Copies of this chain bind each other. A is one copy, B any other.
Amino acid sequence: MNTIGWIGTGVMGISMCGHLRRAGHEIVVHSRTRSRAEPLLQAGARWAETPADVARDAHIIFTMVGFPADVRAVYFGEHGLLPVARSGQIFVDMTTTEPSLARDIAATATARGASALDAPVSGGDVGAREARLAIMVGGDPAVFAQVLPLFQRLGQNIVHQGPAGSGQHAKMCNQLVIAGTMIGVCESMLYAQRAGLDGPTMLQSIRSGAAGCWTLENLAPRLLRHDYAPGFFVDHFVKDLGIALAEAERMQLALPGLALARQLYIAVQAQGHGRCGTQALLLALAQLSARNPQDRTRNEN
């Protein structure tokens, strides 16, 4: 059986790589912080000192790192993957990153006789742990067909979206919808609170109809408990919305809702909540209209 390479052992990567290992694949792993790969190493995965070392040992290499700069370093940097890529190898970047970067990786891989897919996911840490991720794939359909059995170990809704970069574009569409629903849900929760409604009773009325959405089902109850634990980090969402905005600008497409969402999430970061879950948007919106204690005293006297 061919050896599988895995780079990136963050909260999602470590679960995903574990699924492939348990499926019986030999794994060679690299991560910026070796200690985070320990559970995999103890289970029998081999350590590689650099991405290039992973590429030398493996036939299919998955990457799941943080930001586009990390992806660039892993693929194009010193001791990176692509300088040592060889014919027939397949690179699969599952990081959410720039569609243009995905196209660059694919073009460089192709020039060396290798192939690359962009395959960002949705479903978060829980989806990764339970192998229920949605995987959006861009690249050569024949290469997609080759990797599909491995994707099926990681997720359930696995869709080929088109040529290189299309997986990243589909992920941007996903984040755009989430940005809109998150603004709607958080503004609705704030409105309810100010209007003196009972939160759960309000949700009971609106969740079953045209306002119904995943955010209302899953994050609104957390907001009622003042639970801002991630889910999905604000810092990562700001990155994703920035990629979407830049791509939209490149396509000469103005998206005012997206622009507003990103500004509000930058405010969430500014208030120190970058490592909270995306539902912390409520805090920035609440802060906007926080009553000035002086004014309040004046009004109440």
Interface set of A (CB-CB < 8 Å, partner B): 99, 122-124, 127, 134, 136, 157, 159-162, 166, 169-170, 172-185, 187-192, 194-198, 201-202, 204-206, 208-216, 218, 232, 244, 247-248, 251-258, 260-261, 264, 285, 288-289, 291
Do B197 and A188 have beta carbons less than 8 Å apart?
no
Contacts of A212 in B (CB 8 A): 213-214
In the complex, which of the residues A183, A190, A198, A258 has the most CB atoms of chain B within 10 Å of its own CB atom?
A183
In the complex, which of the residues A185, A209, A212, A288 has the most CB atoms of chain B within 10 Å of its own CB atom?
A209
> B195, B210, B285, B289: which contacts A178 (Cβ < 8 A)?
B210
Contacts of A248 in B (CB 8 A): 191, 194
Do B180 and A255 have beta carbons less than 8 Å apart?
no
If the complex has contacts A162-B197, A214-B212, are A184 and B191 also in contact, measured as CB distance less than 8 A? no
If the complex has contacts A180-B184, A184-B178, are A173 and B194 also in contact, measured as CB distance less than 8 A? no
Closest to A258 in B: B187
Q: How far is the CA of A206 from the CA of B173 in the complex (A)?
A: 8
**What are 14 A-B contacts defined by CB distance under 8 Å?**
A123-B209, A127-B209, A159-B201, A159-B205, A161-B202, A162-B198, A169-B197, A174-B206, A177-B216, A180-B181, A183-B257, A190-B255, A209-B214, A256-B260
Do A210 and B124 have beta carbons less than 8 Å apart?
yes
Q: How many subunits of this chain does the assembly comprise?
A: 2
Q: How far is the CA of A181 from the CA of B214 in the complex (A)?
A: 11
Do B194 and A253 have beta carbons less than 8 Å apart?
yes
Closest to A264 in B: B256
Nearest CB of chain B from residue A193's CB, rounded to whole Å: 9
Q: How far is the CA of A223 from the CA of B201 in the complex (A)?
A: 32
Nearest CB of chain B from residue A264's CB, rounded to whole Å: 7
Q: How far is the CA of A172 from the CA of B291 in the complex (A)?
A: 22
> B124, B159, B174, B258: which contacts A211 (Cβ < 8 A)?
B174
Nearest CB of chain B from residue A300's CB, rounded to whole Å: 14
Apart from A175-B211, A177-B206: 12 A-B pairs, beta carbons within 8 A: A99-B195, A123-B209, A136-B205, A159-B201, A166-B196, A169-B191, A173-B188, A173-B205, A191-B255, A210-B214, A210-B215, A254-B289
Nearest CB of chain B from residue A236's CB, rounded to whole Å: 13
Nearest CB of chain B from residue A10's CB, rounded to whole Å: 18
Closest to A172 in B: B191
Contacts of A172 in B (CB 8 A): 191, 195
Q: How far is the CA of A288 from the CA of B194 in the complex (A)?
A: 34
